[in-house]
Amino acid sequence: MRPLTAVDAKAMAVIHAKSFERGWPELDMAVHINRDLCFGLGDPLISFVILSVVDDQAEILTIATHPDHRGTGQGTTLLRGAMSRLASRGVQTLFLEVAEDNVAAQSLYRRAGFDAIGRRPGYYRREKGRVAALTFSKRLDAAK
Ligand SMILES: CC(C)(COP(=O)(O)OP(=O)(O)OC[C@H]1O[C@@H](n2cnc3c(N)ncnc32)[C@H](O)[C@@H]1OP(=O)(O)O)[C@@H](O)C(=O)NCCC(=O)NCCS
């Protein structure tokens, strides 16, 4: 796992556009690289995660793997690596929102030890209507 830099912004935008109905442009990725924690796998990039950290809490803003590489453990490696880095800098709780119909992502999070703690109706706007979000959280082990 490597920290991402400005040169990765374009590849992040490409993967994100292939992963979500509403892609985030390269310029937005450059802002995240400056403001948040961004980690990735592969060079060229095949998977990345963006994390926002405030005090002892963090949030996964997005995580995505290039469609050609899904189901090969990239997301799991990235998530576990990110949790370890966050724990070692004192973050105690990690949150995220996931669409209620996103089975793959929920499987990833549950297997990594996240629990669903809430539901936010209509959180995501899609072309075909709104979809609820599930809020997941996990306490991070400072020993890791
Ligand atoms: C969610 C995502 C990041 C997982 O990345 P990945 O590199 O495929 O992750 P892994 O290979 O470690 O697999 C993670 C889990 O997803 C499951 N999975 C992968 N592709 C799947 C699919 N098409 N359908 C159902 N489950 C799938 C795997 O079986 C695995 O579940 P398991 O832990 O119970 O075995 C990836 O599917 C993706 O980029 N999706 C689009 C973007 C997205 O939805 N991001 C999450 C937003 S909250």
Average pLDDT for consecutive 10-residue bins of the chain (144 residues)?
Answer: 97 97 96 98 97 97 98 96 96 97 96 97 93 97 59
| The ligand 1 atom nearest the CA atom of 102 | 44
Cβ pair 116, 135 in contact under 8 A: yes
Q: What is the pLDDT of residue 144?
A: 47
Q: Which of 46, 76, 96, 126 to mutate to test the pocket of ligand 1 (most atoms within 8 A of CB)?
A: 76
Q: What is the pLDDT of residue 27?
A: 97
The residue whose CA is least distant from atom 8 of ligand 1 is 70
Ligand 1 centroid from CA 78, angstroms: 12
Ligand 1 centroid from CA 139, angstroms: 21
Q: Which residues line ligand 1 (CB under 6 A)?
A: 19, 47, 63-65, 70-76, 98, 102-105, 107-108, 111
The residue whose CA is least distant from atom 16 of ligand 1 is 104
Q: Which option is the CATH number for 2-139: 3.30.450.40, 3.40.50.11540, 3.40.630.30, 3.40.50.720?
A: 3.40.630.30
Q: Which of 12, 52, 65, 124 to mutate to test the pocket of ligand 1 (most atoms within 8 A of CB)?
A: 65
Q: What is the pLDDT of residue 141?
A: 76
The model carries a pTM of 0.94
* Domain boundaries of the chain, sorted by first residue: 2-139
The residue whose CA is least distant from atom 12 of ligand 1 is 73
Listing from the earlier edge strand, what are the strands of the sheet with 115-126? 2-3, 37-41, 47-54, 57-65, 93-99, 129-139, 115-126
Q: Which residues contact 69 (CB under 8 A, 6 or more apart)?
A: 42, 46, 47
